[in-house]
Amino acid sequence: MTDLGIVNLTATEMVSGIKSKSFSARELMESHLEMIDLVNPKVNAIVTLHADLGIKGADLADKAVAKGDELGVLHGLPTAHKDLVLTKGIRTTFGSPLFANHIPDISSLIVERIQAAGAITIGKTNTPEFGAGSQTFNEVFGATLNPFDISKTCGGSSGGAAVALASRMLPIADGSDTGGSLRNPANFCNVVGFRPSPGRVPMYPSKVSWSPISVQGPMARTVQDCALMLAAISGPDRRVPISITDPGETFMNSLDREFKGTRIAWSRDLNGLPVDGRTTKVLESQKHVFSDIGCDVDDDEPDFKDADEVFLTWRGWGREINQGEYLRNNRDQLKDTMIWDIEQGVNLTGPQLGLAESKRTQLFQRMHEFMEKYEFLICPVSQRPPFDVAQKWITEINGVKMDNFISWMKSCYYITATGHPAISVPCGFTDEGLPVGVQIVGRYRDDFGVLQLAKAFEDRTGFCTNIPVVCE
């Protein structure tokens, strides 16, 4: 087996290969480090690298195999963590000059769980400043480039993670999602990004432990690998009040399922959002797949009234809590969109928050009723394909001007506002060769069901096997 063969395996196959001694964890690690040396200079996805930790960890992983120790579900897999999550002893910048040399003395819970499951931390993946926006660039590390066309953006904010996966530099990666940051970069880079139900992956530490807006979750090249990672990072934590009590082991069960007669709703534009024709063309070309696997497909969509207000209100509230002090003390070191973001929270009033909460409850109830009729909703991930990396954000789609730097992501953040699980799965390519994903939304807390349908779609289409040009 060549080195390229090893890095092109799925994460599930890699773990199996290490446990069966088909190859060693060190061989796997060295192969990934070689890919990083080859590809990362072209795309700037992994922004902090500790190869020594990788080799040391791989040797320990091999010793555990030799001794017959009990091995975790991610045993021996190289990984790098989004530069928004704390990593003990490893630089964590949040993509901000304010934290350019910050080295935490603790790790976030998701990092601890990934490591406890046997994965080996080798560094950090790029993200925009404090994760603001679906375009991955910052003043510390610069921009991360799309591996299918380096003149284009990879999306964000988990852009470094998506690129590292697509480019075969990592087999698994963690990300986070407020307005689409797990889904959008996966969609732009032909990988899988899953926004789980709030509380499925407990977030600790956090200043807003009761909030369902921001979540952490898995990214990988296949749906099965996302489930594998979710088995490691999900499960309750008593320090997180909204954490779901289901054990992580749930996601080790088979994802295979019969879908005959399953009702799904197909939405082209989520109540009239402007969607680029190239995106629509790709999605419509694969609509038949859901019918082919037995689903009853209806053109229908929920009522997303007030979703925009709900999301922007609670996003602003979270921004002020988490980054308000930087606006007050270091305004001149923040990018303009970050300033705007935080100010949305600064300017909120008590009645505005109360009204937003009332509208969020009503939105959830409408979505719940809709999802009682349909088991799944299928819709666009992003409202257009990847755009020029020099463009900070999309200002117009189909002649409709965007209100702000995240308006072009409503197709993602409307779903955030409802609290339902959603996944981005590779769906095809535009005529220019740019990836497009499809968004599958499930019933409240039916994360497993979402993974099942996503895998069935993936099995029929196989787009996940496409290798980006930067790997050639």
Q: What is the DSSP string of 260-298?
A: TT-EEEE-SSTTT----HHHHHHHHHTHHHHHHTT-EEE
* Mean pLDDT score, 63-84: 98
C-alpha distances out from residue 6 to 11, 127, 212, 468, Å: 10, 27, 38, 16
Measured in degrees and rounded to the nearest 5, phi and psi for residue 82 equal -55, 140
Q: What is the DSSP letter of 402?
A: P
pLDDT confidence band for 101 (50 / 70 / 90): very high
- Write the DSSP symbol of residue 116: H
pLDDT band at 1 (very low <50, low <70, confident <90, very high): very low
The C-alpha atoms of residue 40 and residue 169 are separated, in whole angstroms, by 8
Catalytic residues: 82, 157, 181
Q: Provide the domain limits for residue 336.
A: 3-471
Residue 147: CA atoms inside 13 Å, Cβ hemisphere, count? Answer: 32
Residue 3 has pLDDT above 50, yes or no: no
**pTM of the model as a whole:** 0.98
CA angle 248, 183, 272 (to 5 degrees): 130
What DSSP string describes 24-40?
Answer: -HHHHHHHHHHHHHHHH
Residue 221: which of 420, 462, 470 has the closest Cα?
462
Q: What percent of the chain has pLDDT over 70?
A: 99
pLDDT on residue 2:
36
CA dihedral 87→88→89→92, nearest 10 degrees, is 30
- Most confident segment among 1-5, 219-223, 468-472: 219-223
Q: How many domains does the chain have?
A: 1
CATH number of the structural domain spanning residue 138:
3.90.1300.10
Summarize pLDDT for 205-248 with one digit per residue, the tens.
999 999 999 999 999 999 999 999 999 999 999 999 999 999 99
What mean pLDDT do residues 443-465 have? 98
pLDDT tens track for 270-308: 999 999 999 999 999 999 999 999 999 999 999 999 999
